[in-house]
Amino acid sequence: MVKGKRPFDHWLHKQLHELYDSITKEPLPDDLVKLIDNDARPALKPAPARCQSCALT
């Protein structure tokens, strides 16, 4: 057992790794990578135009 971990925590950690390690090693689909890349650069995009009649002061 890992030092300092309770038995349930150790069991849960082990089970989650058994279930999901192979999935986390798969490459991300290209479409998802594009979405992430596009969303990660909001500062590079110009700010959207504001509707003057809707603007709050």
Q: Is the pLDDT of residue 40 over 90?
A: no
Q: Looking at the domain assignment, is residue 19 inside a domain?
A: yes
Q: Is the pTM of this model over 0.75?
A: no
Q: Looking at the domain assignment, is residue 18 inside a domain?
A: yes
- Could you report the per-residue pLDDT of 4-30, keeping only the tens digit for each? 679 999 999 999 999 999 999 999 999
Q: Looking at the domain assignment, is residue 52 inside a domain?
A: no
Q: Looking at the domain assignment, is residue 43 inside a domain?
A: no
Q: Looking at the domain assignment, is residue 20 inside a domain?
A: yes
Q: Give the dihedral of Cα atoms 13, 19, 22, 41; nearest 10 deg.
A: -70
Count: domains in the chain:
1
4: left (phi over 0), alpha (psi -120 to 50) or beta: left
Q: Looking at the domain assignment, is residue 47 inside a domain?
A: no
Contact 7, 1 (CB under 8 A): yes
Tell me which residue range forms the domain holding 27. Answer: 7-37
